[in-house]
Structure 1
Amino acid sequence: MRRLLLPALLVVTLAGCGGAAETAAPTATSPSAAPSAAATAAAPAGPEGGVPGLTGEPTDLTAPTQAGPGTGAPPTELLTEDVVVGEGAAATLADTVQVRYTGTLWSDGSVFDSSWSRGDDPIEFPLDRVVPGFSQGIEGMAPGGRRVIVMPPDLAYGDNPPPGLPAGATLVFVVDLVGIS
């Protein structure tokens, strides 16, 4: 696997993240217009924000999209929202997935990594080898889907992020699950 920013960002140690030993990039799922109620966490009530809005044409899986900045206080638990619901068997933690993604910071919507910037080919990785927010966010997706995943710091990199990310950052990924193996 090529050494890319996201895989480098997602590789973590138990001490650094309090979670998985290593991580890799996300996968994409098949298109559908209706969000999945089972896989979608509702935005929390109160002052915390929900899933940020997306740029571009969010249901066009042939083109990248990204999340804008979050509003309100960042969520303290994992949030997901299916933009496009995939079809077929859903990803489990035992699977290897092929994904395309764009990762942004909740605070300002700035892109810190995108597989799309390196071409159309998906990134492949075992789902049990990524940070907990990534594996939990992708688990349950079916190929052909697009999901927004909002990761609080304790499910991402916490206070020990890789170079280029601020400590304690809430991350937002737009993930397309291309395949499962």
Structure 2
Amino acid sequence: MKIVKNLAAVAITVSMFSCGNQVKEVSSLETELDSVSYAVGLSMSGQLKSNFSEVDKDLLAQGIRNGLDSTNLLIENKDIQKVLSSYFQKKQEAQMKEMQAKAEKEAMAKFGENKKAGEEFLAENKNKEGVKTTESGIQYIVLKEGKGEKPAGPNSRVKVHYHGTNLDGKVFDSSVDRGTPAEFGLNQVIKGWTEGVQLMKEGAKYKFFIPQELAYGVQQRGENIKPFSTLIFEIELLEVLK
């Protein structure tokens, strides 16, 4: 991460500190090196304020001094990257969750009816004749069983024909209409596809009803897939690719 790499450069600002662990303040910059050293410090402080505002200034300064003196290290050199990477990874994950929660809240205010409509549809649809439901909530109907090979797992590549519609029957994507089968890895598609196609054998044709959380969730895809949309696919597994 950028901040992890940049923190190492803070050591350049050591000219601001004396070996006696006392901060050495200057009131003017006499040489080019003075100016460069001070400019590096200002640059790093700006990056720290932007990316790591919670820094403990005293420990930051102590770390610089201890590192240059190679004495009294509270963290071994071999563990520095691990400590930094772990912290900033957790911070990034927390920021991502916060952003996702905000995006979902905004989408819910605008497209909450889509979510409700999908839940109502699936609640009714699961009781219809021939409809099966997986543990994750995918519903499907076997239109035709296959006799060939099954995908070995989520890393399998397959060749399929498919026809995708919204609950209102509007087609948003169809290899059938294009007349050309699609090929892809099962780890490259929505979760509902990854799980659903693994239920099939070559030659099979299933109709899937995929809950929004196993489709695109809060994301909007083009004009015809709004956030929280339950999707319907007819999928024919033509071949499990080697």
User: What is the TM-score with the length of structure 1 in the denominator?
Assistant: 0.57
**Per chain length, whose mean CA-contact separation is higher, i.e. which structure has more relative contact order (CA < 8 Å, sep 6+)?**
1
The answer for the alignment partner of 1:85 in structure 2 is 145
1:122 is aligned to 2:181: yes
Structure 1's 81 and 47: CA in aligned 2 closer, same or farther, altered over 3 A? closer
Structure 1's 49 and 115: CA in aligned 2 closer, same or farther, altered over 3 A? same
The answer for the alignment partner of 1:111 in structure 2 is 171
Q: 2:204 aligns with which of 136, 141, 145?
A: 145
Letter in 2 for 1:48: A
Structure 2: distance between partners of 1:180 and 1:136: 15
Letter in 2 for 1:133: G
Q: Which has the higher helix share?
A: 2
Structure 2: distance between partners of 1:175 and 1:49: 22
Letter in 1 for 2:240: I
Q: 1:94 aligns with which of 155, 163, 167?
A: 155
Q: Which has the higher strand share?
A: 1
The CA deviation at 1:161 is: 2.1
The CA deviation at 1:176 is: 0.6
The CA deviation at 1:88 is: 2.1
Q: SS at 2:183's partner residue?
A: strand
Q: SS at 1:141's partner residue?
A: coil
Structure 1: distance between partners of 2:208 and 2:122: 19
Seq. identity, %: 30
The answer for the alignment partner of 1:160 in structure 2 is 219
The answer for the alignment partner of 1:29 in structure 2 is none
| Higher gyration radius (CA) | 2
The CA deviation at 1:124 is: 0.2
The answer for the alignment partner of 1:174 in structure 2 is 234
The CA deviation at 1:103 is: 0.3
The CA deviation at 1:117 is: 1.7
The answer for the alignment partner of 1:4 in structure 2 is none
Letter in 2 for 1:170: T
The CA deviation at 1:89 is: 1.9
Trace 1:9-20 onto structure 2 (pairs within 5 A): none
Structure 1's 167 and 47: CA in aligned 2 closer, same or farther, altered over 3 A? closer
* Contiguous gaps of at least 5 residues in structure 2: 1-95, 101-120, 129-135
User: What is the TM-score with the length of structure 2 in the denominator?
Assistant: 0.43
Deviations 1:67-88 (A, max 9, x none): xxxxxxxxx9211221100012
Q: SS at 2:176's partner residue?
A: helix
User: What's the C-alpha RMSD, in Å, of the aligned pairs?
Assistant: 2.7
Structure 1's 122 and 47: CA in aligned 2 closer, same or farther, altered over 3 A? closer
